[in-house]
Amino acid sequence: MTYQSRNPFDGKLVASFESLGDAALEAKVAAAQACFETWRHTSFTDRAAIIAKAGDLLHARADDLARIATMEMGKRIGEARGEVEFSARIMAYYAEHAERFLAPVTLDPTNGEAHMESSPLGVIFCVEPWNFPYYQLARVAGPHLMAGNTLLVKHAGIVPQCAIAFEELMIEAGAPVGLYTNVLISHDQSNALVDDPRIKGVALTGSVAAGRSLAARAGHNLKVSSMELGGSDAFIVLEDADLDLTVPWAVWGRMYNSGQTCCAAKRFIVVESMADKFLDKFQTALAALKAGDPMDEATTLAPLSTEQALLDLIGQVDGAVAKGARVVMGGKRIDRSGSFMAPTILTDIAPDNPAFREEFFGPVALFFRVKDEGAAIALANDSDFGLGGSVWTKDVARGMRVAGRVDTGMMFINNIDWTDAELPFGGLKHSGYGRELGDMGIQQFVNKKLVRTHAVKAPA
């Protein structure tokens, strides 16, 4: 596997990196295992000093790190800076709260005393995607290192400089050799790592196909795993929604990170009485976006991460149209240099159209008209995915009722604000299993051990 930095704004190759040889990989695995034997006994205070320092460095270097991400995968510079700052908050959050999250929990048996205690598992293998090249790393590093595990991390092939920068930052923060290790490895080497008995857990954020493969391999080895996969989140607009609030969130929800977000708003489900008004305002707002250099703060539409990502997305749109969908706007690449896709709205998508089931990872919105609230909920649930979703209504109690009936891991009422370290993140169905962030995120790779003392009396 080749690791390359190629700027999607101009297509230029910036740098290439060779994959690790098997001997070099073995040395890194051995170092991670050796580090674990010490790190597992390191106090929370001493762990926190390193993790908090890493957060401080992320904050201090947000501009420089953001430029690397923008150069490698095309994220708008303001979004990239925001991602680095969020990553810093995640590290600070776990440095502060990990000891409380993992404190022994007293139980109340009928006889004697008992408690649950938490202990780390060992070396955790993490496979992370390109779309949030720092945030994805922070949300495994913060909790799982504070829990006492050590990490081997395989990042995506198109963001090697982000991966290297994060590892260097961890080392500068004081991480001992083997605590956090970036590995530039092939898929075959990745599979071999899952099989390695020194690896005690597997965390993946990626596609459904990657999740099926890695989860199956982890399961074969009886190893705990977490899978954060794709999404096709519903954006439900009821007849009493405030469009002045709803439409800007619709644009943000679909276009943030050029639409390359697992929990992006992807299926816009609007009750009939509001449909024309919403569609008109939504289309006007999308049409106002201007493609440009993602390094320029004034740019409102960035390129997709790679040329192949653009071609794949165009192929999806063309396939949807061939099966009866109608293009309301966009549907093609923008006629300029760079991997730019025009903001696109598709409608008239029948249930037998492959697009009805697919995830569109880019600036393509699927628009559906429905009769009423019940029909909106039914359509939202008619999906193979179950990551997130939102509902838009002036009646918060109604929004709560709808949120409770949609089968997802996360629901938002009159917002899509998932950028909080305290909020657990994850889904169900083809969106995966397990949770990251919040107090749940640190529990994923720890052993929950029951310890019981009993009244001194021999069994009958």
CB 201 within 8 A of CB 224: yes
The packing angle between helices 44-60 and 135-146, to 10°, is 160
Could you give phi then psi for residue 42, rounded to 5 degrees? -75, 140
Query: Which segments within 348-416 are labelled E, that is strand?
Result: 364-370, 385-386, 389-392, 412-413
DSSP, collapsed to helix, strand or coil, labels residue 112 as coil
Q: Is 346 helix (H, G, I), strand (E, B) or coil?
A: strand
The type of residue at 325 is A
Structural element, H or E, at residue 57: helix 44-60
* Neighbour-count burial of 139, counting CB atoms closer than 10 A to its CB (0-12 exposed, 13-18 middle, 19+ buried): buried
Residues acting as catalytic residues:
228, 262
Instruction: Say if residues 133 and 155 touch (Cβ distance below 8 Å).
Output: yes
Identity of the amino acid at 323: K
Distance, CA of 4 to CA of 195 (rounded, Å): 27
Residue 275 Cα to chain centre, angstroms: 30
Could you say which DSSP state residue 259 is in? G
Give me the residue label for tokens 């095309």.
74
Query: Distances in Å between the alpha carbon of 338 and those of 179, 222, 294?
Result: 38, 44, 11
Closest CA to 130 of 305, 266, 361, 265: 305
Tokens of 93: 């959050």
- Rounded distance between C-alpha atoms, residue 452 and residue 454, angstroms: 7
